[in-house]
């Protein structure tokens, strides 16, 4: 199996796991045959899900946590901002840090979360297949640059799952489930 076909197989497996249909995988910035087309569609879907669930939680519930040993809703949002910058910073070869670490209010946190996704969009805009396949070092291991995008998707979806529980425990319905 070639490196390119292995990469494509990984993308297909990830997309199958997160439920992205081929129709959603079409994006104007990469050709339909690019492995990045499906990855970008998955990232955009993830962005929509996370922003939607963060937007429905009222500010008076941002300090909620289901048990004493887990993060508050607010802390999860701050973490998501940090992780978006961390993972996409790896793709870009930058270290932008976490501008949300000291934020408290719902509106400023939502703004910071949107900006972290905008940063990801900026990184996507400068990405080519050749650059995506370059090897970078992450935690002492050589990986393809675009693997950080898979890390961002996985991390966002893990926390989306956490936030679904937080929202439901507060009597709210996640946007993805509303109207069903």
Q: What are phi and psi of 147, to 5 degrees?
A: -65, -25
Residue 148 has pLDDT above 60, yes or no: yes
More confident site: 79 or 9: 79
pLDDT of residue 23 exceeding 60 = no
Q: Cα separation of 180 and 82, whole Å?
A: 33
Q: What's the confidence (pLDDT) of residue 98?
A: 86
* Contact in structure between 7 and 144 (CB atoms under 8 Å): yes
Q: What is the DSSP letter of 134?
A: S
Residue 174, pLDDT > 90, answer yes
Count CB-CB contacts under 10 A for residue 173: 13
- pLDDT recorded at residue 17: 45
pLDDT at site 41: 93
Q: What is the pLDDT of residue 34?
A: 86
Collapse the DSSP code of 150 into the 3-class scheme (helix H, G, I; strand E, B; otherwise coil) and give the result: helix
Q: What is the pLDDT of residue 167?
A: 97
Q: What is the per-residue pLDDT across 106-129, written as a single tens digit (0 to 9) for each?
A: 999 999 999 999 999 999 999 999
**pTM, to two decimals:** 0.81
- Which pLDDT does position 178 carry in this prediction? 84
Q: Is the pLDDT of residue 35 over 60?
A: yes
User: What is the distance between the alpha carbons of residues 43 and 155, in angstroms, rounded to a whole number?
Assistant: 11
Q: Report which of residues 180 and 31 the model is more confident about.
A: 31
- Is residue 5 over pLDDT 70? no
Give whole-number Cα distances, 112 to 35, 116, 166, in Å: 29, 6, 20
Average pLDDT, whole number, for the chain? Answer: 86
Using CA atoms, how far apart are residues 110 and 114, in angstroms rounded to an integer? 6
Q: What CA–CA distance (Å, rounded) separates 149 from 119? A: 13
- For 18, which DSSP code? H
d(CA 20, CA 28) in angstroms, rounded, equals 17
37-52: pLDDT as tens digits? 999 999 999 999 999 9
Q: Are 152 and 43 in contact (CB under 8 A)?
A: yes
């Amino acid at each position: 199996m070639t490196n390119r076909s292995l990469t494509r197989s990984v993308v297909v497996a990830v997309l199958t796991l997160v439920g992205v249909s081929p129709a959603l995988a079409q994006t104007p910035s990469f050709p339909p045959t690019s492995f990045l087309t499906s990855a970008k569609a998955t990232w955009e879907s993830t962005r929509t899900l996370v922003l939607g669930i963060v937007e429905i939680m009222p500010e008076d519930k941002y300090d909620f946590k289901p048990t004493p040993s887990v993060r508050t809703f607010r802390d999860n949002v701050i973490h998501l901002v940090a992780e978006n910058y961390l993972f996409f910073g790896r793709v870009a070869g930058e270290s932008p840090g976490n501008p949300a670490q000291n934020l408290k209010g719902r509106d400023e946190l939502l703004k910071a979360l949107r900006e972290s996704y905008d940063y990801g969009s900026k990184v996507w805009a400068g990405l080519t297949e050749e650059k995506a396949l370059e090897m970078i070092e992450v935690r002492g291991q050589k990986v393809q640059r675009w693997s950080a995008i898979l890390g961002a998707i996985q991390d966002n979806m893990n926390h989306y799952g956490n936030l679904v529980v937080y929202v439901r425990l507060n009597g709210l319905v996640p946007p993805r489930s509303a109207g069903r």
